[in-house]
Amino acid sequence: MNGARPLRLELAPSRWFAGVILVVHMLAAASFLTSLTAWPGALLAVLIFGLGCFAAWDRALLKGEHSPIAIEIQASGDALVLLRDGKFSQLSAVQGIGVTRFWVALAAALPARRSVLVVSGMLGEESFRRLRLWALWGKVPGVVPGQLAGSSAAR
């Protein structure tokens, strides 16, 4: 068994991401107000904005009961997300545009939370770089298994 400790990445709330979520939902609410008349348009606008508030609270500010609080990457390359309610879930990277310099999209194996979007402000620069490397390659930088701690090959 490998004695390497898992890499634990503690997530922080992102006010910037919460603001983006709210602005997008405000624009959607405004489109309902301009295209639908009377109370159905107003009701849909309020519901869409309410959904945006809940999404910002849960996904960006990480205050919801099932919000992610940390990601653990095991030495084997497997990753888990720890939720605020104490549950764990297996994670896998989303291919394609799932990894950019601004975000990492991760698929979770939970029925209520099928994905976790980690934006750059939720982790420190080095931690975010490690998460991106894991999402792209399935490993984090470190000592290769079987490699000695010292550089004896240079002798």
What is the per-residue pLDDT across 67-120, written as a single tens digit (0 to 9) for each? 999 999 998 889 999 999 999 999 999 988 899 999 999 999 877 778 999 999
68 lies in some domain? yes
Q: What's the structural domain count of the chain?
A: 1
Cα 76 from chain centre: 21
Specify if 57 maps to a domain. Answer: yes
- Strand positions, DSSP E, the chain: 7-10, 68-73, 79-83, 88-93, 103-108, 115-119
122 occurs within a structural domain = yes
54, 15, 52: which is closest to 32 by C-alpha? 52
Q: What is the token pair recorded at 31?
A: 């489109």
**pTM for this entry:** 0.81
* Domain assignment present for 145: no
- 148 found inside a domain: no
Q: How far is CA 35 from the centre of its chain?
A: 34
Supply the angle between the helices 15-35 and 38-55 in degrees, to the nearest 10. 170
Specify burial of residue 96 (Cβ count, 10 A radius: 0-12, 13-18, 19+): exposed
Length in residues, the chain: 155
The pLDDT score that the predictor gives to residue 140 is 75
Question: Is 53 within a domain?
Answer: yes
Residue 150 maps to a domain: no
- Nearest residue to 12 (alpha-carbon basis) of 92, 56, 77, 69: 69
At residue 126, does pLDDT exceed 50? yes
Nearest to 122 by CA among 7, 51, 16: 16
- Domain with 62 in it: 7-137
Start-to-end Cα distance in the chain: 29
Residue pLDDT, tens place only, 52-66: 999 999 999 999 998
SS3 76: coil
Q: Is residue 36 part of a domain?
A: yes
